[in-house]
Structure 1
Amino acid sequence: MDVPLSWQLAKLLVSIAIVLGLSVIAERVSTRVAGLLAGYPLGTAIALFFIGLEISPSFAAESAVFSLAGFTATLALGGGYLLGGRREGLPGVLGGTACGLAAWLLASLLLTRIDFTRLTGTLTTLIAIVGFIWLYRHLPDTRATTVRGGFRWPALAIRAGLATGIVFLITALAHLLPASWSGMLAAFPISMYPLLVILHLTHGAAPAATVIKHYPAGLGALLCYTLCVSFTYAPWGLAMGTLAGFGIATLWLLGWTKLQTWHARRALIGT
């Protein structure tokens, strides 16, 4: 079907706003918080919503089932980027991107061969989350230094171009691919990948590695969101299903934050 211009403009504006917001948080607050928020249902929510709008809510709900397992491929992308992106500057970004995309594609090819249900897809990613948190446990946290003068136009262009290009590519391919691959593409780190590139180019490999380290913990909110919309898109419609998904994801993120605070206090008392 022909996609109205108003829908295309909405995708453009929302994608730009999300990536710029994450970049501000990473530079002004901390890369740890940015990593957690990168796992919040932002990019995937955009992709699934517009897939549902342009094709059908039922197709988006079916795709969401495969997205649940597809987040495992996203974790593989982060691991690949970490291994290949150890150098500074553009060589590090290119190396990290090549290794990350290769890891994502290999994991996606394996995952699309499995007929996932909501339960098995969720369990697959939960196991992957635990595994990657354990693998990253010794990575140091590095805060991005603030750049004087604020954002520059070249940086703005990179952020806008990457996010918008990924969103438009995913939603366009969804018209041509089955729900399994549409779900895998919707699970692609639309908001995290541009953030990695920006941090890597402007602040170095260490802050980018910090975002990757904390990304698995933030995926819990994204899993909650995707599981919710897989149930609610078809019977409730896109708007109500999206609101319900964000509500569930927010509750999970608040609970996770409180759990981390409690654990930190216990560790402090223990010392």
Structure 2
Amino acid sequence: MSLFFAKLAVSILVVLALSMLAERAGPRVAGVLSGYPLGTAILLFFIAVEQGVHFAGESAVYALPGLIATLAFLYAYYLVSRLLLRWSVLVQVLASSMASFAAFVFVSWLGQKVSFTLLTATVSLFIAMIAAIFLFRAIENVSILQRVKITHKIVAVRAATAAFIVVAISGAAAMIGPRWSGLFAGFPVTLYPMILILHWSYGVAPVHTVIRNFPRGMGALLIYIVSVSLTYPRFGIGAGTLLAFGAATIYLVFYSSVVWWRSRRIVQSG
């Protein structure tokens, strides 16, 4: 029971922090930081606690193609929501979500039929990231100009959405073996609730900005998962998680520094 409440607490805090960051720092920043291994880390950590480090280490390999399924999820959401711009927000959210889930399940189903090694899974995800950056390159970066007033009701809805998704995915993953567990660990546990929150509160444009920038921050996820697959069996859950987060943080700091440096040069040259 304490593990159940731990899942709830961690997932709720992460989703609320990300959605508030998107409102204050902007969807572009939130999109990049969504590539930080938050939801995947939560799921792999609890899978390791419940099923053991070797199970989690094997699952981590399949979390990489699971992230390819996440990119398919985002692309489907982008395409459908763009086609339904004249429809109500409710129709946009429901139709986009159904298409996204279908894309994720289909790509995951294909992924579990392949015997991935750590190397082949890493290369496959890297190629998918480059393809996603190319596909999303035309999306315009927008900011949230007028924030919705945060009420207790809004906080409760956000928290409930996050809690339901994390508990459902981690609970199901524990019963279906390391391949499907790893693939489900790639599910956008924290990103999807944030997308729902932004879409419902601000419309589709900020959501598309998040989608555009997510693949650019996915290097941190890739590094985290590779690190987990190597460190969990060798060093255990605690040390392995810290080492993996350290490696992912170094990447994200480096990437953010490069982006900041390029932006500064563009401003100076302009």
RMSD: 1.4
| Percent identity over paired residues | 42
Q: Tell me the residue number matched to 1:180.
A: 179
Q: Tell me the residue number matched to 1:27.
A: 23
Q: Tell me the residue number matched to 1:49.
A: 45
Q: Distance in 2 between matches of 1:209 and 1:148?
A: 18
- How do residues 54-203 of structure 1 correspond to structure 2 at under 5 angstroms? 54-86=50-82, 87=85, 88-147=88-147, 149=149, 151-203=150-202
1:85 match: secondary structure: helix
Q: Tell me the residue number matched to 1:245.
A: 244
Give 1:37 shift.
1.1
Q: Distance in 1 between matches of 2:103 and 2:50?
A: 29
Task: Decide whether aligned partners of structure 1 residues 148 and 80 sit closer, same or farther in structure 2, where only a CA change above 3 A counts.
Answer: closer
Write the deviation string for residues 7-58 of structure 1: whole angstroms up to 9, x where unpaired.
Answer: 1111111111000000110111110111111110101100000001011111
Given residue 160 of structure 2, which amino acid in structure 1 is its aligned partner?
G
* Matched residue count: 266
Given residue 53 of structure 1, which amino acid in structure 2 is its aligned partner?
V
Q: Distance in 2 between matches of 1:268 and 1:107?
A: 41
Q: Tell me the residue number matched to 1:260.
A: 259
- Checking the alignment, whether the CA contact within 8 Å between 1:85 and 1:97 is kept in structure 2 is no
- Checking the alignment, whether the CA contact within 8 Å between 2:37 and 2:248 is kept in structure 1 is yes
Given residue 29 of structure 1, which amino acid in structure 2 is its aligned partner?
A
For structure 1, list consecutive stretches of 5 or more residues without a partner in the other structure. Answer: none
Write the deviation string for residues 144-185 of structure 1: whole angstroms up to 9, x where unpaired.
Answer: 234353x12332222112211111112211232121110010
TM-score normalised over the length of structure 1: 0.94
Give 1:84 shift.
1.3
Q: Distance in 2 between matches of 1:68 and 1:123?
A: 9
Q: Distance in 1 between matches of 2:118 and 2:11?
A: 27
- Checking the alignment, whether the CA contact within 8 Å between 1:84 and 1:98 is kept in structure 2 is no
Which segment drifts farther, 167-176 or 224-233?
167-176
Q: Distance in 1 between matches of 2:170 and 2:190?
A: 15
Q: Distance in 1 between matches of 2:229 and 2:165?
A: 22
Write the deviation string for residues 102-147 of structure 1: whole angstroms up to 9, x where unpaired.
Answer: 1111111111111111111111111111111111111111112343
Q: Distance in 2 between matches of 1:209 and 1:175?
A: 32
- Checking the alignment, whether the CA contact within 8 Å between 2:148 and 2:201 is kept in structure 1 is no
Write the deviation string for residues 66-96 of structure 1: whole angstroms up to 9, x where unpaired.
Answer: 0012111100000000111233511111111
Task: Decide whether aligned partners of structure 1 residues 148 and 205 sit closer, same or farther in structure 2, where only a CA change above 3 A counts.
Answer: closer
Give 1:224 shift.
0.6
Q: Tell me the residue number matched to 1:212.
A: 211
For structure 2, list consecutive stretches of 5 or more residues without a partner in the other structure. Answer: none
- Checking the alignment, whether the CA contact within 8 Å between 1:83 and 1:99 is kept in structure 2 is no
Q: Distance in 1 between matches of 2:174 and 2:131?
A: 34
Q: Distance in 2 between matches of 1:16 and 1:34?
A: 16
Write the deviation string for residues 223-264 of structure 1: whole angstroms up to 9, x where unpaired.
Answer: 111110111111211111100011000000011112223333
TM-score normalised over the length of structure 2: 0.94
- Checking the alignment, whether the CA contact within 8 Å between 2:65 and 2:108 is kept in structure 1 is no
Given residue 234 of structure 2, which amino acid in structure 1 is its aligned partner?
P
2:147 match: secondary structure: coil
- Checking the alignment, whether the CA contact within 8 Å between 2:40 and 2:189 is kept in structure 1 is yes
Q: Distance in 2 between matches of 1:147 and 1:266?
A: 30
